[in-house]
């Protein structure tokens, strides 16, 4: 049963299910699994290698023209920004569904 966890601003359209990886500035991109869903406070250039591996991006902060929003649209991957509590509520390895049309994130575990 999908359980609604969080809501934010949809910033790049798409719906995807996958494994979450909480990834913060300063973390090593080598540790970011290919096609994981990046969950972070706000992306910055130290995270670019990991962003390019991500299947979707979820951030605590930012708007529809913020760094993660713009770059997700360019890469054609779903993105939800401004969830406020994404990095607090989503756990590493958790299976989640990112609905970047409605801005909703569901727990699949």
Partner 1 sequence: MTWIKDFAKASYGIYAGNTIDAFQPLDFFHFFGLWYDLWLIEVLKAFDKLDVDKKHYKDLKHLLPMPSNMRAILIKAIPSYVGAGKKNKEVYRRFTNFKARMLQEACIEDPFGKYSTPLHRREEVEQIMKTILWRTATESDARVLGKLITAAASIVHGLYNDVVTDFGWDAYGPYHKHRAGKNLTLLIRDFPDLQPHPLWPKELMPEIKKFQIYQLFEKVEWEISCVGCHTILKSGNPISGLRYFAVIADGKPLTLEEIKKLTFHLATKAESLYKEIRKKDFEELKLMVMWQECYQLKALLEAAGMDWRPTAEMLDAIKNQPLQTGVLPHGVMMTSLDQYMKEFHLETFEKEVLKN
Q: How many CB atoms lie within 10 A of CB 86?
A: 26
- The smaller minimum CB distance to partner 1, of residues 47 and 107, is found at 47
Q: How far is the CB of 4 from partner 1 (least distance, A)?
A: 21
Q: Which residues bind partner 1 (CB under 8 A)?
A: 9, 12-13, 25-26, 29, 42, 44-46, 48-49, 51-52, 61-67, 70-71, 73-76, 82
Phi and psi at 50, nearest 5°, equal -70, -40
Q: Which helix (H) or strand (E) covers residue 89, if one does? A: helix 86-89
- The smaller minimum CB distance to partner 1, of residues 17 and 44, is found at 44
- The smaller minimum CB distance to partner 1, of residues 63 and 93, is found at 63
Q: How far is the CB of 64 from partner 1 (least distance, A)?
A: 5
- The smaller minimum CB distance to partner 1, of residues 1 and 26, is found at 26
Q: Which two tokens stand for residue 88?
A: 């607090």
Phi and psi at 10, nearest 5°, equal -70, 125
Q: How many CB atoms lie within 10 A of CB 106?
A: 16
User: Cβ(104)–Cβ(86) under 8 Å?
Assistant: no
Q: How far is the CB of 3 from partner 1 (least distance, A)?
A: 27
């Amino acid at each position: 049963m999908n359980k609604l966890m969080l809501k934010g601003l949809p910033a790049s359209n798409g719906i995807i299910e996958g494994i979450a990886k909480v990834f913060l500035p300063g973390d090593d991109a080598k540790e970011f699994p290919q096609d994981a869903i990046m969950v972070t406070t706000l992306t910055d250039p130290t995270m670019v290698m990991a962003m390019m591996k991500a299947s979707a991006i979820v951030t605590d902060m930012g708007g529809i023209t913020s760094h993660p929003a713009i770059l997700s649209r360019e890469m054609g991957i779903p993105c939800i920004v401004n969830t406020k509590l994404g990095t607090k509520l989503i756990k590493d390895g958790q299976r989640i569904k990112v609905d970047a049309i409605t801005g909703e994130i569901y727990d699949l575990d």
